[in-house]
Amino acid sequence: MRPELSTLIRLQGIDLEIRKLGLEKADLPERLDALKELMDEKNEEIAQLKDKLADLRTRKTEVEDELELETERLKKSQQKMSSVKNSREYQALSKEIEEIKKSNKAREEEILQLEEDIEGLKKTVKEKTKEVEKLKKEAAAEERRIAKAEKEIDSKIASLTSERDEVAKEVKPDLMARYKFLSEKRAGIVVAAVDEGICSVCNMNIPPQMYNELLRDEKLLFCPSCQRIIYALKV
């Protein structure tokens, strides 16, 4: 194999490893992002529950005020009973008292139901708040893990980049320009092996005459289909 080809294969291996590490680094925040999204959802749920809780408390106060007023009204109506002069007034007042009692009973039942609902919502808010606190701890731990992993990846990339710079010095400028161009266009795969006349990357046939030239290994050749630099895979 020609020396410059061996150098390019080595350079490609380093670049692919750097690319792989870069992708790993980019994927690191994935779980953290999911945790933050879940926290946002939980906080939104808590906010909605608190709004509902406020509405229930407001309604409870309103019903309690109504009950207080109507209870006072009931007392006054009951006091009037002693001064009623005829049966018609007595029946009307009795009916009014019964209606007030009936309405007050409904108010008392509503207040009890509101109290039950309020306690239930308070419990739910408390539980969801605990869930958020747990998620916060998980997110903090994940941030520490990411920071450590990023540091390790950056260290590896720095070491590989230093090695790459040294290897790149061995490549002629015009060939390096071609390598960079192909690397950008071909997802980092610049050099491809040809096995029994077929490019191992694009899987296209290499013309017989070119394949014979490739076997002689006298100059650099390029795949006519994918334009990658090719070499014959010899068993």
Q: Is residue 1 part of a domain?
A: no
Tens-place pLDDT, residues 190-206: 999 999 999 999 999 99
Q: Are residues 127 and 181 in the same domain?
A: no
pLDDT band at 82 (very low <50, low <70, confident <90, very high): confident
Q: Is residue 17 part of a domain?
A: no
pLDDT at 67 over 60: yes
Residues 70-79, mean pLDDT to the nearest whole number: 93
Q: Are residues 178 and 158 in the same domain?
A: no
Q: Give me the DSSP letters along the chain.
A: --HHHHHHHHHHHHHHHHHHHHHHHHHTTHHHHHHHHHHHHHHHHHHHHHHHHHHHHHHHHHHHHHHHHHHHHHHHHHHHGGG--SHHHHHHHHHHHHHHHHHHHHHHHHHHHHHHHHHHHHHHHHHHHHHHHHHHHHHHHHHHHHHHHHHHHHHHHHHHHHHHHHHHTTS-HHHHHHHHHHHHHTTT--EEEEETTEETTT-PBPPHHHHHHHHHT-S-EE-TTT--EEEE---
Overall pTM surpassing 0.85 (yes/no) = no
Q: Are residues 54 and 111 in the same domain?
A: yes
Q: Are residues 136 and 52 in the same domain?
A: yes
Per-residue model confidence (pLDDT) at position 235: 52
Of 114, 139, 167, the last residue of a domain is 167
Q: Are residues 37 and 129 in the same domain?
A: yes
Which residue range forms the structural domain that includes residue 215?
Answer: 173-232
Q: Are residues 129 and 153 in the same domain?
A: yes
Q: Are residues 51 and 160 in the same domain?
A: yes
| CATH code, domain with 53 | 1.10.287.1490
Q: Are residues 44 and 160 in the same domain?
A: yes
Q: Are residues 36 and 149 in the same domain?
A: yes
Q: Are residues 153 and 186 in the same domain?
A: no
Per-residue model confidence (pLDDT) at position 2: 84
Q: Are residues 32 and 98 in the same domain?
A: yes
Tens-place pLDDT, residues 120-160: 999 999 999 999 999 999 999 999 999 999 999 999 999 99
Number of domains in the chain: 2
Q: Is residue 138 part of a domain?
A: yes
